[in-house]
Structure 1
Amino acid sequence: MLKTRILTALALLPLVLASLFLAPPLGWGVFALLALSLGAWEWARFARFDRGEMICFVVGFLALGTAWLFIPLARSWALPLDVLALLFWLLLVPLWLRHKWTLKHKGLSALVGWLVLLAALAGVTRIRELPQGAILLLAMLAIAWVADVAAYFAGRAFGKRKLAPSISPGKSWEGVYGGLLAVALYVLALQYFGVPVFAQLSWWLLLPLAWALTAVSVMGDLFESLLKRQVGFKDSSNLLPGHGGVLDRVDSLLALVPVASALLFGYARLAV
């Protein structure tokens, strides 16, 4: 299993980095749209859509994503998407996890799925379009990765108190604290080395923001875990050998990216 995970990661990592750093912003956007369309297919499986409903859901997401990438007027969705993403991830999802709501209505399942996926697509494309956007986006994505890896090792070494035993039994509060510590060291290193945005923030503002994004990424992970548990899935699919599905790999990013993007561009709007 470990060998398979490593081989899959080694195959995917160059493709992702090449798309991010070598392709123009539009090329990166198309890559992200195609990757997230696989996530849309997995979401349709969570929602128990039949074949026709699944096709409609995935095609609907592709249409929305294509409009976002190629039709300038669609960029007027940016502010509503930011607001909806913040409300969803910061207010609704914590309640969702607490009460363990289920998506029983297929129409609601489709709307939630489109919001989650389109907000993520909008976030990764808007950040990539900024000056030095590729390095900034990679630095932001790595917040979730650093937190995840550190939480895994801290949890294995010190984990005693379960974070959400009925949703994800393997996660512990000690793991979360380890992730927060690692993220603090990581973002301070980014600040020291002059990475855009991180270098412009004072440490006393940078750390709370980074910790907030870490918490959001954990909620994204738990949210996908809850959806899987409710339908009896171990993984979102088997598209990525050793890793499960696309949503299994990007669950934390689906939450982190829209919130980070909304905060970044919200600050830019206020600063004008």
Structure 2
Amino acid sequence: MLLQRVITALVLVALLLPALLVDNLLPFAALTLVMLGAAGWEWGRLNGLAGPGAWAMGAAVALTCAAAWWAGWATTAPSVVWWLAVTCWIVGGGWALRNGPAAWPQLPRAVRLVLGWLILSIGWLALAAAKQRGLGFILSALCIVWAADISAYFGGRTFGRRKLAPSISPGKSWEGVWSGMVGAALLAWGWTALQSAWPAIAPSVFSVVADRHGWIVLLMGLAAVCGLSVMGDLLESLAKRAVGAKDSSGLLPGHGGVLDRIDALLPALPAVMALAGS
């Protein structure tokens, strides 16, 4: 299993890194569009679609992303799109997590499929928009989620006492969530210190938001982004638990499915874009 995880991770890095490094949006947008289409296929399967139905779900996500790309929204999407996405995540995600796995299948399948389509399409749009803001911006945006996840894991293992959502993900604790927020704040401090020492470093989410709104808003925003990333993780766990699935698929050997790797990014990236502004 470890060897599989390492090989899959190396392949993903080999594909994503060149697409990230080039200034042209095309390679990154195309690669991530395929990935989000695969995630759409996984979402369809988790919500009762099989065969052609699941493929149609994946195609719907990919075509929506391609249409948004063609329309220029990867560079010109207004801030209201991101704020609406964040609001929907807070309201809808909060409702789903409060009611738990038992209530999820009671939602009409069409509603669950439309929710997945919107979540994945807007997630891709935020990913493409972040890439368009520059390498430093998108790397720092991704690192917020990764730093929060790693800090939450170790903080939860060390200090975890109060369960966050035992019916959905028994391993998560409130102490883990707070540790993730601390980890993101430390990342922001370290990154901006590095930028101060080497001004040639490309602008990051931290410098953009701090220059625009100040450090207090940045720290509050990072806490919100971390909270939303946890919500994305829990929502996918809820959908899997409702059907008794361990992973969203086996597309990424050793890692599960695409959704298993991007679930925390889906609400976090629109929140980052909302903070940074147009």
Q: Could you tell me the TM-score, scaled by structure 2's length?
A: 0.88
Report deviation, 1:181. Answer: 1.5
Unpaired segments ≥5 residues, structure 2:
196-202
Q: Which residue pairs with 1:102 in the alignment? A: 104
Distance 2:3 2:178 in 1: 29
Q: Which residue pairs with 1:183 in the alignment? A: 184
Q: Contact 2:147 / 2:183 at 8 angstroms: preserved in 1?
A: yes
Report deviation, 1:84. Answer: 3.5
Report deviation, 1:83. Answer: 4.3
Structure-2 change in CA distance of 1:141 and 1:197 (3 Å): closer
Q: Contact 2:165 / 2:172 at 8 angstroms: preserved in 1?
A: yes
Structure-2 change in CA distance of 1:76 and 1:192 (3 Å): closer
Structure 1 range deviating more: 178-187 or 243-252: 178-187
Q: Which residue pairs with 1:240 in the alignment? A: 252
Distance 1:167 1:43 in 2: 17
Q: Which residue pairs with 2:49 in the alignment? A: 49
Unpaired segments ≥5 residues, structure 1:
none
Distance 2:110 2:80 in 1: 20
Report deviation, 1:26. Answer: 2.1
Q: Which residue pairs with 2:198 in the alignment? A: none
Let me know the Cα RMSD of the aligned residues: 2.0
Correspondence list, 1:61-76, <5 A: 61-72=61-72
Distance 2:144 2:75 in 1: 27
Q: Contact 1:193 / 1:199 at 8 angstroms: preserved in 2?
A: no
Pair 1:121-2:124 in alignment:
yes
Identical residues among aligned pairs (%): 38
Note the alpha carbon deviations across 1:142-162, whole angstroms, 9 max, x for none. 111111111111222222221
Pair 1:199-2:228 in alignment:
no
Structure-2 change in CA distance of 1:66 and 1:60 (3 Å): same
Structure-2 change in CA distance of 1:209 and 1:76 (3 Å): closer
Note the alpha carbon deviations across 1:167-203, whole angstroms, 9 max, x for none. 0011112222221221111011122222434124133
Pair 1:139-2:147 in alignment:
no
Report deviation, 1:206. Answer: 1.7
Pair 1:111-2:114 in alignment:
yes
Q: Contact 2:248 / 2:260 at 8 angstroms: preserved in 1?
A: yes
Distance 1:85 1:180 in 2: 21
Distance 1:189 1:242 in 2: 32
Q: Contact 1:155 / 1:174 at 8 angstroms: preserved in 2?
A: yes
Distance 1:169 1:6 in 2: 26
Which amino acid is the alignment partner of residue 104 of structure 2? T
Correspondence list, 1:71-90, <5 A: 71-72=71-72, 78=78, 81-90=81-90
Note the alpha carbon deviations across 1:37-64, whole angstroms, 9 max, x for none. 1101100111111323223222222211
Q: Which residue pairs with 2:164 in the alignment? A: 163
Q: Contact 1:68 / 1:75 at 8 angstroms: preserved in 2?
A: no
How many residue pairs align between the two structures?
Answer: 264
SS at structure 2 position matched to 1:169? strand
Q: Could you tell me the TM-score, scaled by structure 1's length?
A: 0.89
Q: Which residue pairs with 1:256 in the alignment? A: 268
Q: Contact 2:93 / 2:231 at 8 angstroms: preserved in 1?
A: yes
Distance 2:190 2:45 in 1: 40
Which amino acid is the alignment partner of residue 117 of structure 1? L
Structure-2 change in CA distance of 1:76 and 1:181 (3 Å): closer
Note the alpha carbon deviations across 1:106-152, whole angstroms, 9 max, x for none. 3212211111011011101112112xx22211111111111111111
SS at structure 1 position matched to 2:263? helix
Distance 1:46 1:74 in 2: 28
Which amino acid is the alignment partner of residue 94 of structure 1? G
Which amino acid is the alignment partner of residue 207 of structure 2? A
